[in-house]
Structure 1
Amino acid sequence: MNRSGLNELDIVLAVARRGTFTAAASELEISPSAVTNAIAGLEKRLGIRLFNRTTRSVALTDAGRRYVEKIGPALAMIRVAEEELESESHAPAGTLKLNVPPESGSLWYPTLLLPFLQRYPRIRVDLYSQREQVDIVAAGYDAGIRLMEDIPADMIAVRLTAELRMIVVASPAYLAEAGVPAQPEALSDHQLLCMRMSDGSIYRWDLMNQQRHYKLQGEARFAASDLASVHQAALAGLGIACLSEQHVAGDVQVGKLVHLLPDWQVHLGTLCLYYPGHRLVPPALKALIAFVRETENRPHL
């Protein structure tokens, strides 16, 4: 296949990742019309519609999904081969596409990603934040970032953080008015600030201490699908929240939030980098894996 044919396939994967022709065009730094023409030309040549289009969205057809699942790994191997040749006589280079959970950056950007990019100026990183887990191979990602328990069994995982946990917090102003819960069961009598899951359900905190387990009861006064909104609601004194300890540590330290029920927490596990072990590893990903392992014994991990 000629280079223009490979470009068409790159465009197909970009549209599948981004969900719109405009976003794919922005990622690839080409015009939206070039994306439209490439997809239309490929569909005409194949005799199959790859995407269903409406005025608001673009989604893969069943045939398109099967096509993407096949071409994603093949294009990744071609890119790895090109980048390995490019890196033979130079420092590691290439673009690293990573699928990451939203709002996870503060857990590993400052200690790992930013120092890594400073060390390797010829490596480019594209981060795609997505709450739902995807097939990183079919979607054209080099690697993903997820909690260890969410990583598929056929992937290789490299630990990025120490054990993560969520803690129960509220503002001093809220507690002065509503009182301080002494046991988890008392939480149902309070205003609750909760995360909404991707399926629309409210996350019920699975609190643990050394001997007991308690699953949150009661209705949420405020629910949001992003951690930042729940965090801001807690700071505003609207109620009690259960948030990542790393995200609220600074607020607890200066007294903006109070750590409640200190013997109780939600255990999340460790955040890991993961990638498929059955194909060639791109030079940029090899460099990142080596960098993570080099730093894994530092105090912050």
Structure 2
Amino acid sequence: MTKPSLADLEAFAVVATERSFRRAADLLGVSRSALSHRMRKLEEQVGLRLLNRTTRSVSPTDAGSRLLSRIGPVLRNLDSALDTLAVDRGSPSGVLRINADRGAARLMLRHIMPTYLARYPDVELDLVSEGRLVDIVDRGFDAGIRLAEAVPQDMIAVRISDDLRFLAVASPDYVSRFGKPVVPDDLLRHGCIRQRLPSGKRYRWEFEKHGQEIAIDPPGALTLNDNDLMIEAATRGLGIAYVPETAAHDSLAAGRLTAILEDWCPPSSGLMLYYPGHRHVPAALRALIDLLKEPDTKAALLSGLR
């Protein structure tokens, strides 16, 4: 048996973890055809089929799963060993992969990443924005950024923002035509802009006042899955939207939107950067965590959330 190269084993681990030649090829910076050829060559070298392929998916065979379980820790230990050189060199390097929702990704790009990339030019940042919550370990991410309530309990979390809140908003024109709801149940008689979650379910609007909690699935002819689109629809008078206050800040300040049921919209948990505690923390991630804890960075994030 010809001994596989380390590069081919690393490529196999990415394919088997991502379960997609397209995503794996994008992460590795190669074409799908070239990656597929490498995997067939690897299977010839070991004399076993390692991947089940269909026209729509790819998954490890039993032999592939066993190989992945054995080489996964080895590859992580290798990354850890190489990462220790960053300490001697005085600057982190390598790829830092972070998964975040769109709002958190935008916040990081505006207020954190310019400083981080200027300070650590040898780091390659891979910031993936997606609405659905993913298993960052299974998907090969170093860290994730989500609201505190969504962070898995087995993760180490670092707070990167104060509490946030969701706010019901509508255009002044809508309010003048249809009136302003006073209590959450009034929404049942209005046209609302509903939100479709990545899971496919519609988001229930949550309100609270003096310990009384109310969750409403509001009526409405329009359903969207993006905060910016919901804000635009609300500014055009298409209904009442329920969005993060930070996302609607500019429209509220400019008078294009007005807040509704403000006293029923208390702050909720803020954003957290989180990562698995059972693995070595890469130097690039440690550098980001240290940056997030700096007073100037905290001030920049706070201003970005207003």
Contact 2:107/2:301, CA 8 A, preserved across alignment: no
The answer to which of 14-23 and 28-37 deviates more is: 14-23
Give the root-mean-square deviation of aligned CA atoms: 2.6
State yes or no: 1:58 paired with 2:53. no
TM-score scaled by length of structure 2: 0.86
How do residues 1-301 of structure 1 correspond to structure 2 at under 5 angstroms? Answer: 5-15=5-15, 20-44=20-44, 45=46, 47-54=48-55, 57-61=56-60, 63=62, 68=68, 71-265=71-265, 267-295=267-295, 298=299, 300-301=301-302
* Other structure's SS at 2:264 match: coil
After superposition, the C-alpha distances for 1:112-140 in whole angstroms (9 at most, x for unaligned) are 23222222222211012233323322322
Contact 1:22/1:32, CA 8 A, preserved across alignment: yes
* Other structure's SS at 1:287 match: helix
Distance 2:131 2:58 in 1: 18
TM-score scaled by length of structure 1: 0.87
Distance 1:222 1:110 in 2: 30
Cα deviation for residue 13 of structure 1 reads 4.3
Cα deviation for residue 299 of structure 1 reads 7.0
Distance 1:203 1:291 in 2: 34
Contact 2:205/2:218, CA 8 A, preserved across alignment: no
Contact 1:73/1:140, CA 8 A, preserved across alignment: no
Cα deviation for residue 197 of structure 1 reads 1.5
CA spacing shift, 1:80–1:104, aligned 2, 3 Å: same
Code of the residue aligned with 2:124 in structure 1: it is: R
CA spacing shift, 1:18–1:228, aligned 2, 3 Å: farther
Cα deviation for residue 51 of structure 1 reads 4.0
After superposition, the C-alpha distances for 1:211-263 in whole angstroms (9 at most, x for unaligned) are 32121144232112222222221122110000011110110011011111110
Cα deviation for residue 12 of structure 1 reads 3.2
Distance 1:259 1:106 in 2: 23
Code of the residue aligned with 1:50 in structure 2: it is: L
* Other structure's SS at 1:163 match: coil
Distance 2:266 2:39 in 1: 46
Cα deviation for residue 205 of structure 1 reads 0.5
Distance 2:171 2:138 in 1: 44
Cα deviation for residue 43 of structure 1 reads 4.1
The answer to which of 159-168 and 90-99 deviates more is: 90-99
Code of the residue aligned with 1:298 in structure 2: it is: A
CA spacing shift, 1:67–1:267, aligned 2, 3 Å: farther
Distance 1:13 1:173 in 2: 55
CA spacing shift, 1:276–1:132, aligned 2, 3 Å: same
After superposition, the C-alpha distances for 1:142-176 in whole angstroms (9 at most, x for unaligned) are 11112222222221111111111110001112222
The answer to which of 148-157 and 185-194 deviates more is: 148-157
Structure 2's unaligned 5+ residue stretches are none
Code of the residue aligned with 2:51 in structure 1: it is: L
Distance 1:35 1:268 in 2: 44
Distance 2:31 2:240 in 1: 47
* Other structure's SS at 1:127 match: strand
- Size of the aligned set, in residue pairs, is 298
The answer to which of 150-159 and 110-119 deviates more is: 110-119
Distance 2:222 2:266 in 1: 20
Structure 1's unaligned 5+ residue stretches are none
Distance 1:271 1:67 in 2: 37
Percent same amino acid at aligned positions? Answer: 34
